Structure 1
Amino acid sequence: MTSSDLWDEATASRYDDDSAMFSAEVLGPTVDVLAELAGDGAALEFALGTGRVAVPLLDRGVPVTGIELSQPMVDVLRTKVDAGRLPVTVGDMATTRVPGQFSLVYLVFNTLGNLRTQAEQVACFRNAARHLAPGGHFVIELWVPGIRQMPPGQTAVPFEVSPEHTGFDTYDLVTQQGTSHHYTRVDGETYRYGTTNFRYVWPAECDLMAQLAGLEPAARWADWSRAEFTADSPSHVSVWRMPVSGVVGDG
């Protein structure tokens, strides 16, 4: 049993409405990096969703397989591409296995945090390693927790304030649990409120999880344009490599 929130049919039906996620400025650099890392091999996407990244990567000539927890999200994907071209297994990304080895396993858009226990997050890294061919890469895109912005006693940090959407995160600094709160304008007059839950992870903690999985660090950037990652970066794209020996840590 996974601790992840489960995207239902209503959520899946409007997931693609966020046009910013699908813009060329966002997807172009993302797909460029992933296609380069995949090389002549195949890619496996954890939490593939409706195929926002997988479909354009597939269009670039990279064979893609997916693991996705939500059947309604897969149903939306199937309106874009059939199972013969982009196979997907419904299951959680911490434990679900698919056949074959891959030159690239990737997990984008902060989705690692959907696993709300440290044990599951460690298991996710190990599951990625089990699917990697020697020399293959595991890539994650993840935000850096915004708790540096909070004065003592504050528990919430806004991440977007606009006429169409207001969002803020609340943090429990003891458990590393958090909740994203979304107020989205629906028809110009009313708002829809929704939440998603997560466990936040620091970049250094990700490196330790990778080490436990037998992976070695390869790169860390602030974003998909490969800008330098600094102490002030609000997010990171991190890459680890399976050693050519192919030894995976199961400890």
Structure 2
Amino acid sequence: MQQEDIWNTEAAQDYDTPGTGMFAPEVLGPTVDRLAELAGTGAALEFAVGTGRVAVPLAARGVPVTGIELSRPMVERLRTKADETTIPVIIGDMATTTAPGAYTLVYLVFNTISNLLTQAEQVACFRNAARHLAPGGRFVVELWVPELRRLPPGQKATVWRSEPGYIGLDTYDVLNQRIVSHHFRFGDTGQARLARSPHRYVWPAELDLMGRLAGLELETRHADWSGTEFTAESGSHVSVYRVPPVTDGADRA
């Protein structure tokens, strides 16, 4: 499965769920608040900007936002909400594509770094973020914590959500740190519609090493956008990496 095939016209049409799910005010509000705080008076770059779930309200807060996005159908959906002047978008992948200018904030939300299926690509993503950052700038990653403790011994799959009309399960390849998420949606006819997406899961400590390889240092890690403490029981995290301050010659000596 290629990312271009997954994020097709049908996926773009189904992606937006105004007022519910990841578009719910209690989810989106704290995300935009925190990103606006981190951007300050500077500009922001969103990797995998998608349909503008975060970029549109962040731009409405007065933060200049540029996006990088691989899927043209997702960008077409974004264009129904904001024009090229309001949110410029460069078509390409987040590991290698560059945008003009320097930014105080680069951000990557809702587990999207896991769409890069190799460690090398994920490291390249960190390095791509670092090359866009102004001195003191920050790279923010929102990601789930791998749920291997829920995987029964000898089993390769877990059901992570079951509700009326929907079942979500993940199949694991623990040797290669890969999962495939399977989304089963049931209508009134009894017919099921299946969508699948591959991911490479990443441990927080592995992310920190990727940051160091890119010349970034971990500044903060919380369990959510509201600043809840990150613990061993947290199911996800928001990690903020920063370009370290430049020291003078005396400090280096």
TM-score, normalised via structure 2 length: 0.93
Equivalent position of 1:215 in the other structure = 216
Q: Are 1:236 and 2:237 an aligned pair?
A: yes
**One-letter identity of the residue aligned with 1:15:** Y
Distance in 2 (alpha carbons) for counterparts of 1:134 and 1:3: 35
Equivalent position of 2:202 in the other structure = 201
**One-letter identity of the residue aligned with 1:218:** E
State the secondary structure of the residue aligned to 2:141. strand
Equivalent position of 1:20 in the other structure = 21
Q: Is the 8 A contact 1:3 1:117 kept in 2?
A: no
Equivalent position of 2:42 in the other structure = 41
Q: Is the 8 A contact 1:147 1:157 kept in 2?
A: no
Distance in 2 (alpha carbons) for counterparts of 1:190 and 1:244: 57
Equivalent position of 1:30 in the other structure = 31
Q: Is the 8 A contact 2:4 2:70 kept in 1?
A: no
Equivalent position of 1:249 in the other structure = none
- CA positional deviation for 1:164: 2.4
Q: Is the 8 A contact 1:179 1:197 kept in 2?
A: yes
Q: Is the 8 A contact 1:217 1:240 kept in 2?
A: yes
- CA positional deviation for 1:17: 3.2
**One-letter identity of the residue aligned with 1:237:** V
- CA positional deviation for 1:21: 1.0
Moved more, 100-109 or 147-156: 147-156
**One-letter identity of the residue aligned with 2:117:** R
Q: Are 1:9 and 2:12 an aligned pair?
A: no
Q: Is the 8 A contact 2:116 2:122 kept in 1?
A: yes
- CA positional deviation for 1:187: 4.8
Moved more, 8-17 or 205-214: 8-17
Distance in 2 (alpha carbons) for counterparts of 1:166 and 1:188: 16
- CA positional deviation for 1:188: 6.1
**One-letter identity of the residue aligned with 2:8:** D
**One-letter identity of the residue aligned with 1:8:** N
Q: Is the 8 A contact 1:5 1:197 kept in 2?
A: no
Q: What are structure 1's unaligned runs of at least 5 residues?
A: 247-251
- CA positional deviation for 1:5: 5.2
Equivalent position of 2:251 in the other structure = none
Distance in 2 (alpha carbons) for counterparts of 1:159 and 1:132: 36
**One-letter identity of the residue aligned with 1:38:** A
Equivalent position of 1:77 in the other structure = 78
Q: What are structure 2's unaligned runs of at least 5 residues?
A: 248-253
**After TM superposition, where is structure 1 displaced by more than 2 Å over at least 4 residues in a row?**
2-6, 185-191
**One-letter identity of the residue aligned with 1:179:** V
**One-letter identity of the residue aligned with 1:111:** T
Aligned CA distance change for structure 1 residues 106 and 187 (closer, same or farther; 3 Å)? farther
Aligned CA distance change for structure 1 residues 69 and 143 (closer, same or farther; 3 Å)? same
Distance in 2 (alpha carbons) for counterparts of 1:156 and 1:16: 28
The two structures, once aligned, show a CA RMSD in angstroms of 1.6
**One-letter identity of the residue aligned with 1:176:** Q
Q: Are 1:110 and 2:93 an aligned pair?
A: no
Q: Deviations over 1:105-140 (max 9, x none)?
A: 000000000000000000000000000000010001
Distance in 2 (alpha carbons) for counterparts of 1:206 and 1:127: 14
Q: Are 1:127 and 2:119 an aligned pair?
A: no
**One-letter identity of the residue aligned with 1:198:** H
Moved more, 180-189 or 136-145: 180-189
Distance in 1 (alpha carbons) for counterparts of 2:71 and 2:115: 13
State the secondary structure of the residue aligned to 2:34. helix
> Rg bigger for which structure?
2
Matches within 5 A, 1:26-175: 26-175=27-176
**One-letter identity of the residue aligned with 1:51:** G
TM-score, normalised via structure 1 length: 0.94
Q: Deviations over 1:85-120 (max 9, x none)?
A: 100001000000010000000000000000000000
State the secondary structure of the residue aligned to 1:17. coil
- CA positional deviation for 1:75: 0.2
Distance in 2 (alpha carbons) for counterparts of 1:184 and 1:62: 37
